[in-house]
Amino acid sequence: MAATAGILLLPLLMTTTAVMMQAALFRQAEAGEPPYSCGPRSASLAQGYAFCDARLPASRRAADLVARLTVAEKVAQLGDEASGVPRLGVPPYKWWSEGLHGLSYWGHGMHFDGSIRGITSFPQVLLTAASFDDQLWFRIAQAIGTEARALYNLGQAEGLTIWSPNVNIFRDPRWGRGQETPGEDPATASKYAVAFVRGLQGSSPAALRTSACCKHATAYDLEDWNGVARYNFNAKVTAQDLADTYNPPFKSCVVDGKATCIMCAYTSINGVPACADSDLLTKTVRGEWGLEGYVSSDCDAVAIMRDAQRYAPTPEDTVAVAIKAGLDLNCGNYTQVHGMAAIQQGKMTEKDVDKALTNLFTVRMRLGHFDGDPRSNGVYGHLGAADVCTKAHKDLALEAAQDGIVLLKNDAGILPLDRSAVASAAVIGPNANDPFALNGNYFGPPCETTTPLQAIQSYVKGVRFLAGCSSAACVFAATGQAVALASSSDHVILFMGLSQEQEKEGLDRTSLLLPGMQQNLITAVASAAKRPVILVLLTGGPVDITFAKNNPKIGAILWAGYPGQAGGLAIAKVLFGDHNPSGRLPVTWYPEEFTKVPMTDMRMRADPATGYPGRSYRFYQGKPVYKFGYGLSYSKFSRRLVSGTKPGRPNTNLLAGLTANPTADGGASYHVEEIGAEGCEQLKFPTVVEVQNHGPMDGKHSVLMFLRWPNATTGVSRPTSQLVGFQSQHVKAGEKVRVGFEVSPCEHLSRATENGKKVIDRGSHLLMVEEDDGWEISFEA
């Protein structure tokens, strides 16, 4: 509709050059070429327009192009399906593509109906996050970006703006989209954001491989709970929680990752829709953080501001308030439909639109869309079909799945299995042989898929399979058949968990228990089996499996997330000892009683006076089923902070001239703002952790370093503990290695006050890598 309106408003008598250019654009599309402008066939190049001059800065080129557009042509650019401008040789463009854990069916920009029919499907993000390996995250994003550019060069992509990653905090275990995120910890999510953005976009700011978009700013983590939908939810969030939980990943995206896009969420934050919040979009994202890119709405979020949230009286007012607040692009066509009327009615000006379009076209300039044919002129022009689903990418998908799998229980060393000693095996469960159970959401067509059943069959003979339930919902269970199979088999492996029927975009869970008859089926099978069974869980969010944790007839438990195309093989390699598990949980696994807490309560900190238990490992006061960072290995590892190497200490002399502000517990703190950037740099110091693998297997190990305050009190609302950083290291059996950390007190040892300001407490701080061991750091002027 928007594109048609734009064409009708063009002059009826087009110039001969414009007609020729429009024909060239149609030929370009028919030939399966990537959309581009300013090549040898471009009228704009022949006329010497500045926007075609690659020697000029991208922002200047963008401004030149915007200045040449009519008002109608400008408005037609404000939606995710932007109209072409034939008279200037500007092709149509589709902004919406997804690359969460591989290129995706979701969006309008990617097509899998040409020479490329499949792409590398990596594990869903939460499982990848369990590896605590930022180099792995970077390499995955790099592969996704490469495959996106390859499809673009082949004419199977109409855009290179990838609306990933999702770096929202996984605040509530019931959230249907928690599977898409790096978990509950802001430090982990921030590090993930930086690695993924850098991997997608490439190393050259002037020549982007693709454009990454961090979503959904901010404090968005509810789909539909108890009659409250994300479209009309007003998230009441304290300045303290915004500062130390919800905003840090987005800040890291922009400041450290140099992301070229931020997406604003559907939800309102303290009464203001995120996509109409000038304090968020203009003051914070673009002003304080320095975004060099564009701000997009979530899909139809602008229309929802009017139709569901009733934030503005008319469509024109709604469009104007969003654009003037700092929104540049609307996913949908609402701004295209109502933008012209908003200008004509004086709700917004043409200059407001120009600002938005300059941001948009600057990113397209950096993507090379106005440098001629990218296959001959671009840095990435060599990429094609041979760069999709490569052996390296498929191996990476396997590595990611293996490194994310978390061993939750292994009584009496039941795992790994000795394949030569397995005479017969029963594989039971709805997730054992369902390829879709490996995907999670926002997936594309995998280039190949191995289910867990297929992988186990490649390891041992005599495998018998029973689904037990028709799906993960498990409304009815074939318990009798499952018991008979289990009792006649040497080993039993159950593949249970969740699916997109229970958790996905638009759908939150109401329970943390396994769905339907799953628990009864598992318990019955375990009771009938000859020896303790192995339980493999394919889920996004956490589940309360206290029954399995405490049941001696369930000998081992693995969490395998949604592990992607190589997930079945990865699980089998762990089961049979070809890979030593090293994953650690990136979220707290809560008991079922946590579902009494309203999802709409956004507070992170506990409130003992009302019985509110708090959220995440940093603030939760209850007893978890499994805690954040938990994960077993087939080897025994030990970690210790090495003091014999004279580890660095912060230079606290520079604090002498600063005022120590009193705290509620009688202590004092220093404001990070007053310390300043130079002071914060001087406060940084190194630490060294020694890791020893006591055997019996080589393996990867992730060292998680935490901060604890010896005098933590509820009066000051300090976290119970706070992740400082992590390092992943492969260690041979019997080997000792040393892993280095750089600690930045302003970033790692600070906390947020109630007004959202960061402070460093005067006095003792403990750095810890073991429960009962810590290294004391003292901040005294």
Show which residues are catalytic: 298
The backbone torsions φ and ψ at residue 563, rounded to the nearest 5 degrees and listed phi first, read -85, 5
Let me know if 609 is exposed, middle or buried by CB neighbors in 10 A (0-12, 13-18, 19+).
Answer: exposed
Residue type, 685: F
Q: How many Å separate Cα 763 from the centre of its chain?
A: 36
| DSSP structure string for 589-609 | B--GGGGGS-TT----S-BTT
User: N- to C-terminal Cα distance for the chain?
Assistant: 65
Residue 755: both structure tokens together? 């007004």
The backbone torsions φ and ψ at residue 434, rounded to the nearest 5 degrees and listed phi first, read -110, 105
- Three-class secondary structure assignment of 280-319: HHHHHHHHHCCCCCEEEECCCHHHHHHHCCCCCCCHHHHH
Q: How far apart, in whole angstroms, are the C-alpha atoms of residue 413 and residue 529?
A: 17
Residue 214: both structure tokens together? 């961090």
731 strand-pairing partners: 699
Q: How far apart, in whole angstroms, are the C-alpha atoms of residue 176 and residue 222?
A: 8
| DSSP structure string for 212-232 | E-EEEESS---SEETTEETTT
Residue 519: both structure tokens together? 């628990």
Let me know if 135 is exposed, middle or buried by CB neighbors in 10 A (0-12, 13-18, 19+).
Answer: exposed
Contact between 503 and 473 under an 8 Å Cβ cutoff? The reply is no
Q: List Cα–Cα distances, 597 to 507, 625, 765, in angstroms.
A: 18, 16, 32
The backbone torsions φ and ψ at residue 465, rounded to the nearest 5 degrees and listed phi first, read -125, 140
